[in-house]
Structure 1
């Protein structure tokens, strides 16, 4: 082949690969799309519903589902869990999903926690130590019936029968030993006061007399002289069941420290599904999930004694009395044994549950999805074998839950995808209230923590194609399903998510520090002392730290390429010699290490007491003469160690600026979050999120040099060069005016050259004074109650909220106990209900505890100007109001005056509005002016839920054609699709509800149609004024009404039908529809 042709092919291959980010962003693959948990509710499953559900999800941009078969308070159907009919439904799902290109995952057992079912026998179930004791007098041949320890479910096996000299009557037991030994209950690892000598059991005096007791518990033993305590230890069942599941799927939870037990749980459901799937296993059937761990600890398994010796290096027998609360030898020895005991449990959970479950998945060509927290384990060790580590967060609130935990696991252990159970809703924040705009800020926060796959909670399987809003997941979830009024309009939000998730799934995260978790289990992450703002860090489990970290060019490396400037090892009060030896080796190899307190003794009892001597030798080699005050650093080999300082001090010493920082004008301090990714092709990109529901003007500073920035908008799908930027010696600054709730990707993929130098480095806008024009907005809080949803208590916070209203007539707050001055009902779910008046109109909003409210709701702010950088490098500026834009460049400042922006054209009305049939509203109505549906005197409109179409004709001046024009819808509740003169202008799902319509206008008469969709809430409230059409047990549907089973309409005229009573006629309506004002804004371009 000619050399020239080879060179052309290589060059073409380079550019094709370099463009992979752009191609994937513009057309995200299925892997990048969000997924959903698909809950099959209490045996109510139909093939008709399966097909309709999957087709609906594929249509709007869902990439896959996870089936969870649960009960949760729904009337029972006729497809029993794990029956032949049920497995047939799973197989049918796979076949339909294959035709649609959807991925299917399956929870490993019925319920959402954890791994069990009717097929798990007692021998394979979770086990715990049980014990009983009695005292005997020695110096003779003893024949005695030894008390049987407490037994659960008639299952019991012996561990050992021990005898030791009886302690004094006043001798104490180890405080909190039940928790320290991981019996079911609370865990408190604090040590008590030193016990008196008479409380100690001498390990050399313990005699194993198991062989002298027969199967009936009769002891026949020649007891030495003295008084003896006889301790009988065995193991029994914990008696935990998988939940919440149907009565057909309920069974014992498997033994998590036994591969045999885990295999039994797998075989009962997943094994059958995999066998039935055949060639679809690994293709359409993609994975198996272990969801929330909610079944408590276990502290024994059949092989525990052997496993303990294998893992800890010494026999457990002399220390068994500690499991019954006795001090053996000393307090220190007893507590260190308990540390080893819990560490062994954590290691076995990892080895036999997580690692072995992953092996079973791999044998079936499946991925392992896991929420590895909440149990008696080392969370990071438990999660490191997950192919898709997961966390969870609950909406609608300001919290990202433990998204950072899932993101950390994916980054540290080299996983491409980090998922979260997403926007999980309790009744107060769910019940059809939420919508994409309400989720946006919280979801972006989750992205900034490293998560790159939303898995929505929840899509409840809809077995029927009639009767909406239909099936619920009991009281839970935000009702993400095809019977939600918002369903078709979710596509805009999902497109944004897919674009974002594609970029977030590529490359590696940039993190400056790697922290090491403690060795004492149960344990999670350790980020002490914390990193300063603008830097990121990861945390690794202690075993992986010892096994896999290396040093190269002064940076700490993990096997898959993640690397760090600083290693932080601060949980060092107790440590194994292996851990400290690793720290010493890394320091010698050139690492920079921040240390915690000097280690006082070895962790556990392996090789004790020699281990303590080894520790002190290593302490001397590592800490040396550092005291953390006068001497805080020293060199070891090629590296450095620090003690008594924080990460900021080391970063400052090394002149490492934040990876990301920002400034905003004025005294406000809005929150802007980030995540930095990079690849091996020289591309860097930052996800940057405005966490405010208002516009923010900011200068963004990135720790990047020698490149030019681009703005990639996942919301619109547009890519454009940054209109302005400034290159510094150590960073690049990009000015950006964020819309409310907006997020962007700032991409650095092209090297800086003379041809792509910035035309501007900053913009400064000064609005023309409008003093005396119009009137100021007004916001009045009429009534505000912070109350328990079950009526257990309430607090009037009207005055408190009135005092929080700003001069700009806005109010933003978090509905928390702290903000609202106390808890009116401890441990009860609460809402903040606000009745308010805005510009003379009455409104109501209800938000859940810890969620954020912004008043007025549904409002938006149009930015005064927009700047684009044209291909030739020059700037195009469009102003939407009169003012002056000062363009700052290396050559100086240049003011650009805009003084010919006309007043917007307000489309006041009348508006012709059409409604769909069958939803209670008239086919047609005319609105003299725009207002919430809830202000209508016609009940069918007042309580309407669904999509209506607003129509109006307006004249546009011929002399304004060709100028930039924006259609601004004002306030919308909650989504809108615009059509102008027969042309689609897009779906507006996020404030500000505006769209550019320049090329769709014509001189003279224009026809505008706006489809507006609101939520189910108002229709459900309105229906409650009608007679009941079903029987209820409180808020639960008691049974399927006959009219529903017969496929007939409600006999009482109700429109909505659902399985959970979330709303009543006593609740306030939510504002709905197009509220406006609708403005045609004509801009001035220069």
Structure 2
């Protein structure tokens, strides 16, 4: 017994030592994170406007500013074409140059798998290897009619984005290409009404969910029968009786007959918005032969020139990328019938009329066929497109990232689950679409599959964003994204600045993007913000995310996972409530097991509850898997399905679903009250309340939360409603990211579901770590006093090695003003941008209100200088508080650089540099571009006209308009409102006092 105890204590000691070492390593990394944790950018090139010089300048500016990775894409958005033709030898040499320079600088490159941003296509893709639809024409014939039967070639469906993107050459090919598939005939009788929304259900069209015009999911297949449906046994296959010219050699039997000619047509999807030489059809997403041809033409062509990619070498090409799916849907390929039979077990031929909305057999049967059609299409996209690209990337020592949302004809979570790196997108709040649901999707996928990296195309913008955004304005939304699970920002967009450096703001991607490039006014100071982001991203990639609830999505496609709105507080950037959650696809659930009554995945995701969708249909295979999880000890919330959605095994499949439901739930009829039924080692919780008033397919949050509370599981985090959070955990430690989501200071007590030791505060802005004694710990909950300034954030770290003794939770800190630096300031502006070389501000005022137009319309850096003496001796830390700053500032005191201030609290510690007398203070302040752009609108226009650069630029002449700025897009006029600018203070010396 004694020997066993020694072994046990040794084991526990080893665990403790390992946990302490792990946290120590995390703390070291927090202070100075490795480069791979830096944020990234979308690096856009505009249709041949590029040079080796500007490529190097861009990359070196990224390195200096703290950018560690990028996505390389060439597009054509609102800029005249340049001299370097896409994929020409010169273009390829420049790409090789960019890759080598990125390798030199340690910047990782991710390459989109096609020109433009939408997918995988180009001018090399011909009709036979393009995305296809099965379309039909029809004629009515009568027995005894001697007229020759000629079946017309059916036209293609209109492209989702219209015909405008098709060049005359591609429009001609789109209209001419077709291949015959089948000819079917059936008696013409009084037909049932066509299937509702058949063009969506048959995957002719799939609108973007971000647009708000498409549902997140399709209703389960109907159970209705129809006696006016086409009888399947009366459908005749006349395929071999049609001549190539459409003449049908067939005499119909008695009565009238409808004859349908089915052909495959291109779906009209074209690379967008690709450079002109890269325009072409999108390749077939169901066919590996077509995909290989495309990859060889584009990626393979570049890989030959780059040479072997070394995994261990930092920087350079490291990943391929599938961006947001914007090429519509397809429902056909040359081998589709064969693939369908292999996967579904029956021949789809006589159901082809259903593609056009006809009802075959019955409405229920036809909709089940359409479900099977979509399921087969999804499987082909996953296997022959996404997984094939992933295998191709792996073969070349690369990984694959996917943005699995919008217009996607599969279920988003299923497509995202293929990626090595699932990726999201979010737009700047107020400047475009709301695609924040993609954040929930990508983070869910990552947590389930165990990907530690969850990037997001970040702060995408349009709608007159016009250089208004800056680090401080983005702080709150950025912290929301961190709390939602994102741990790498890839800013949209860093436009390659191919224009001369004197022309700023320079080139843009039309009106899109948040202008995250070296022509920004504040770019020389952005490294301070990037340091904050890098520290946050480093910590948020450690351990695993804690989430209690797992929402299962229905089977089938297309599908967007949208959690219950009641599980989130707020609108566009809503925050998780006290029990965090993820979504899970059926394909992912098939890999789950149960350990200690928790549903666990091979990647490390672990959940206390599985919540079923309020959806009547489920395949027997998925239901059997759910039953096995319950039997192993899982807790399942929701009512049993009623039938299968598929024709596979029909009607026996429905009986299997019913029987399994009775076995797992213990009864068939849903009880009026909530019932907890034991099945094996687990529990099924069900009742009418779990189907009443579905909240985006799921029970309301309070029902689920009530179950966890009844189990004695407290919420993971609670506060007064002003704070948001996320929680990462590892051996012996818990780390919470907490941020103030208000523009006012918050002083509160927050409850954390961790007692692994005393808390520490880690400040990602300064990199400082502070022990905390203002807390209590009881019954698994630590209550901690937290005081945060406007939009401020902090990591709260619990670890066994932290041994501070709790002293309660009523402490607070207040700022005490020791001295206000009033009186005149010497201020210098840059004359190159229209400001005075030197002036005096008697008081700190807003530049835009100044009578001097050189100051009123100034954009850029101004230097404020003042001398001062300390009014009294000071002990301990002393801070210079800048008051109101628009929009960033660097403080230098007595020649010592004290750092950059970009967010609240707007202060710097000056104790190391201050002296009693003759202090020399310098504050460099940077505002935004809009004021100078607005001022220039009062001068003659000398920019792009009729998609052509101005003559003075092309010929290297001097400008005569008097304008200071130049940009490739105009987002202001002379009457646009000016923005508050400069240092308006008050500037004070302060100390912080502990209030007990």
User: Is TM > 0.5 for Structure 1 vs Structure 2?
Assistant: yes
- Corresponding residue to 1:501 among 537, 546, 565: 537
2:637 aligned with 1:637, yes or no?
no
Aligned to 2:396: 364
Matches within 5 A, 1:255-654: 255-280=284-309, 282=311, 283=313, 284-374=316-406, 375-397=408-430, 400=436, 402-428=438-464, 430-463=465-498, 464-525=500-561, 527-528=563-564, 531=567, 533-546=577-590, 548-596=591-639, 598-625=640-667, 627-630=670-673, 632-644=675-687, 645=690, 646-654=703-711
Change (3 A) 1:117 1:292: same
Measure the CA separation in 2 of the matches of 1:992 and 1:1085: 17
Secondary structure of 1:253's aligned partner: coil
Measure the CA separation in 1 of the matches of 2:971 and 2:14: 62
Aligned to 1:880: 815
CA contact (8 A) 1:517 1:526 kept: no
Mind listing any 5+ residue stretches in structure 2 that lack a counterpart? 1-11, 157-173, 208-213, 569-576, 691-702
Aligned to 1:97: 102
Measure the CA separation in 2 of the matches of 1:14 and 1:335: 54
After TM superposition, give the deviation of residue 964 of structure 1 in Å: 3.8
Matches within 5 A, 1:35-114: 35-114=40-119
Secondary structure of 1:1000's aligned partner: coil
After TM superposition, give the deviation of residue 477 of structure 1 in Å: 1.0
Aligned to 1:791: none
Aligned to 2:736: 686
Secondary structure of 2:368's aligned partner: helix
Matches within 5 A, 1:148-187: 148-151=153-156, 152-168=174-190, 171-184=192-205
Aligned-pair RMSD on alpha carbons?
2.4
2:941 aligned with 1:1028, yes or no?
yes
CA contact (8 A) 1:117 1:242 kept: yes
Measure the CA separation in 1 of the matches of 2:490 and 2:854: 36
After TM superposition, give the deviation of residue 264 of structure 1 in Å: 2.3
Measure the CA separation in 2 of the matches of 1:462 and 1:530: 45
Change (3 A) 1:1031 1:528: closer
Measure the CA separation in 1 of the matches of 2:762 and 2:368: 54
Matches within 5 A, 1:905-924: 905-924=819-838
Aligned to 1:727: 777
Matches within 5 A, 1:553-952: 553-596=596-639, 598-625=640-667, 627-630=670-673, 632-644=675-687, 645=690, 646-663=703-720, 669-670=721-722, 672-679=723-730, 681-751=731-801, 756-758=804-806, 760-764=807-811, 865=813, 879-881=814-816, 904-952=818-866
After TM superposition, give the deviation of residue 536 of structure 1 in Å: 1.0
Change (3 A) 1:65 1:529: closer
- Corresponding residue to 1:1043 among 944, 952, 966: 952
Aligned to 1:666: none
Change (3 A) 1:192 1:530: same
After TM superposition, give the deviation of residue 163 of structure 1 in Å: 1.8
Higher relative contact order (CA 8 A, sep 6+): 2
After TM superposition, give the deviation of residue 526 of structure 1 in Å: 5.3
Instruction: Please state which structure has a larger fraction of its residues in strand.
Output: 1
Secondary structure of 1:913's aligned partner: strand
Secondary structure of 2:139's aligned partner: strand
Change (3 A) 1:627 1:79: same
Change (3 A) 1:154 1:654: same
Change (3 A) 1:394 1:1083: closer
Change (3 A) 1:10 1:969: closer
Change (3 A) 1:99 1:352: same
After TM superposition, give the deviation of residue 444 of structure 1 in Å: 0.5
Measure the CA separation in 2 of the matches of 1:1064 and 1:1083: 45
After TM superposition, give the deviation of residue 654 of structure 1 in Å: 0.6
Secondary structure of 2:307's aligned partner: helix
Q: Deviations along 1:271-319, whole A, 9 cap, x unmatched? A: 1112211134644201121112112111111111111112222111121
Q: Deviations along 1:547-572, whole A, 9 cap, x unmatched? A: x0111221111112211111112244
Measure the CA separation in 1 of the matches of 2:932 and 2:563: 48
Measure the CA separation in 2 of the matches of 1:738 and 1:223: 82
Q: Deviations along 1:129-169, whole A, 9 cap, x unmatched? A: 1101222234799952223222543111122111222212x
- Paired residues in the alignment total 928
Measure the CA separation in 2 of the matches of 1:38 and 1:84: 21
Aligned to 1:889: none
- Corresponding residue to 1:1066 among 956, 972, 975: 975
- Corresponding residue to 2:237 among 208, 212, 235: 208
Measure the CA separation in 2 of the matches of 1:940 and 1:735: 48
- Corresponding residue to 2:881 among 953, 968, 983: 968
Secondary structure of 1:880's aligned partner: strand
Measure the CA separation in 1 of the matches of 2:466 and 2:672: 56
CA contact (8 A) 2:631 2:682 kept: yes
Measure the CA separation in 1 of the matches of 2:14 and 2:796: 30
TM-score using structure 1 length: 0.82
Q: Deviations along 1:670-727, whole A, 9 cap, x unmatched? A: 2x11111112x32211111111111011211111124111111111111111241111
After TM superposition, give the deviation of residue 764 of structure 1 in Å: 5.0
Measure the CA separation in 1 of the matches of 2:670 and 2:898: 67
Change (3 A) 1:8 1:704: closer
Change (3 A) 1:752 1:249: closer
- Corresponding residue to 2:31 among 7, 26, 30: 26
Change (3 A) 1:982 1:332: same
Q: Deviations along 1:742-761, whole A, 9 cap, x unmatched? A: 111111122565xx312x21
Q: Deviations along 1:212-245, whole A, 9 cap, x unmatched? A: 2222222223543343221211211112111112
Deviates more, 1:498-507 or 1:520-529: 520-529
After TM superposition, give the deviation of residue 649 of structure 1 in Å: 2.8
Secondary structure of 1:346's aligned partner: helix
After TM superposition, give the deviation of residue 483 of structure 1 in Å: 1.1
After TM superposition, give the deviation of residue 396 of structure 1 in Å: 3.8
TM-score using structure 2 length: 0.90
CA contact (8 A) 1:529 1:647 kept: no
CA contact (8 A) 2:319 2:393 kept: yes
Q: Deviations along 1:474-495, whole A, 9 cap, x unmatched? A: 1111111111110011111100
Mind listing any 5+ residue stretches in structure 1 that lack a counterpart? 1-6, 664-668, 766-864, 866-878, 882-902
CA contact (8 A) 1:142 1:222 kept: no
- Corresponding residue to 1:244 among 265, 273, 287: 273
CA contact (8 A) 2:52 2:94 kept: yes
Change (3 A) 1:62 1:239: same
Deviates more, 1:448-457 or 1:177-186: 177-186
